[in-house]
Chain A
Amino acid sequence: MESFMKKQSIQLIVNGRKEILEISSNLTLLHLLREVLTLTGTKNGCEAGECGACTVLLNGEPVNSCMILGVECDGANVLTVEGLAENGSLSKLQQAFIDQNAIQCGFCTPGMLISAYALLQRNPNPTNQEIREALVGNLCRCTGYERIITAVFSSAQE
């Protein structure tokens, strides 16, 4: 097994692109994305798994990337907010956030989008309550949530 603090080599797919990296054991997925891959869309909010600003998809499921080590992601498939656009155009969900004025400072938005995207993947027609429950782990200090929920709901209706 590995000797102490030796860097480890991992391979993962991020937004459809294969990455081969040498990283320290204590580098979280959040910092791997932001600092190593310079994908700064994913935000560092609380680093305690509470605010959801760092939410990404790991093998299709939403996770708090601040709570995961990069070395745990060897062989994994990661989707960040940068990967939501389709062929250079904003996705339906992203456009809905704009159309519904669901963004103020924008800091929670990447995490909100990923959590909402994951919800719509597993439940294409969520109720208002189901949207609220799915977004429990994404905190917003600006909007009061109503327009975010409306954006997700309207995106599902289209």
Chain B
Amino acid sequence: MLNPNTRMPKFSYIKPESIRQASEFLELNSGQSYPFLGGTDLLIALRDKKLKPKYLVDLKHLDHLNVLTFDSAKSLIIGAAVTLNRLIESEDVQKYYPVLVQGAREVGSYQLRTRATLIGNLCNASPCGDMIATSMVYKGIVNIIGTYGSKSVELESFFTGPGETILKPGEIVVSLSLPISPSRAKGIYLSIGRNKLADLAIAAVTVLAYPDETAFSGFRFLIALSAVAPTVIFVEEAQSLLSDKPIEIATLKKAALIAKNHCKPIDDIRASKKYRQEMIHSLTLRALIAVWEDLQKN
């Protein structure tokens, strides 16, 4: 047999029997080991020599990580090993967290979504990750297990930079919890890539809005921008505008302009800074109009 693996580095494959065993191994072999689930980002990083672990620790077979449960009184629990296809096909997720489903549909292809996981997308922490903003607008909480026990962290505090999270060696994200979404909320995820198919997002906007009597306008808006800053960012000034002022087309246009000026994109291989700013402007306006029209139907 010819040796076909000229691009794959050498490593050992580890299949732990429990989360605790995995956590202990990862902590003990810090810097030499790497946990993985679907592996859709990992295998590319291995071939590109961006990662050279001695050990790869597979977690997806662990029962606890495959839960996908919804309690209408409490929350949605998405286990770390739940694939994006499984998420998309869940009727509860479609009904109560539709923006999450929209984000998942944008990821790659059906084949990739058979393996890719929401948690993997979060832990990869790419600024353009489709699941990050779509989870953030639903106030996701990351549940982590380490050798010390467990802890939970708000998703907004989870990311520290492009490709970086607060996770320390030995810490494993076991699930994401999403509290019950606001009543009568409407939302949308709009992204643009280099083509209409399976490309990464060059720029993306997530909007979630819901009726709120405590707001002057009667509504609260969440506007999250992806791929235009080191991490996903919320446009608080635009959000405040839409809750503090009567909402009409002029307000939406002003909010979209604020989003354009708020983002901090860079020039890179996929798009220029200026293009990204213009796309954020356009996508934000489209998203706000779509959500506003949806809200008014109720």
B198 adjacent to A50 (CB under 8 Å) = yes
Q: Mark B98-113, 1 if CB is under 8 A from A, else 0.
A: 0000000000111110
B7 adjacent to A47 (CB under 8 Å) = yes
12 extra A-B contacts, CB within 8 A, seeds A4-B54, A137-B109:
A2-B14, A25-B10, A27-B4, A47-B47, A52-B111, A69-B13, A72-B13, A115-B110, A115-B111, A136-B109, A136-B197, A137-B110
CB neighbours (8 Å) of A8 from chain B are 13
Q: How many residues of A contact B (CB 8 A)?
A: 40
B112 adjacent to A137 (CB under 8 Å) = yes
Residue ranges of A at the interface with B (Cβ–Cβ < 8 Å): 1-6, 8, 24-28, 31, 34-36, 47-50, 52, 55, 58, 61-64, 66-69, 71-72, 115, 118, 133-134, 136-138
CB neighbours (8 Å) of A48 from chain B are 44, 47
Known pairs A34-B4, A48-B44; A26 contacts B112 (CB<8 A): no
Q: How many A-B residue pairs have CB under 8 A?
A: 101
Known pairs A2-B13, A4-B54, A137-B109; A26 contacts B5 (CB<8 A): yes
Q: Mark B147-181, 1 if CB is under 8 A from A, else 0.
A: 00000000000000000000000000000000000
A6 adjacent to B44 (CB under 8 Å) = no
Residue of A34, A67, A71 touching B112 (CB-CB under 8 A): A67
B58 adjacent to A49 (CB under 8 Å) = no
CB neighbours (8 Å) of A52 from chain B are 109, 111
A31 adjacent to B198 (CB under 8 Å) = no
A5 adjacent to B10 (CB under 8 Å) = yes
CB neighbours (8 Å) of B1 from chain A are 35-36
**Most interface-central of A27, A31, A69, A138 (chain B CB within 10 A):** A69
Query: What CA separation (Å) do A8 and B108 show in the bound complex?
Result: 31
CB neighbours (8 Å) of B47 from chain A are 47-48
Known pairs A24-B5, A25-B13, A35-B2; A62 contacts B39 (CB<8 A): no
A69 adjacent to B110 (CB under 8 Å) = no
A134 adjacent to B110 (CB under 8 Å) = yes
Residue of B15, B40, B54, B55 touching A67 (CB-CB under 8 A): B40
CB neighbours (8 Å) of B14 from chain A are 1-2
Known pairs A26-B5, A67-B43, A72-B58; A49 contacts B11 (CB<8 A): no
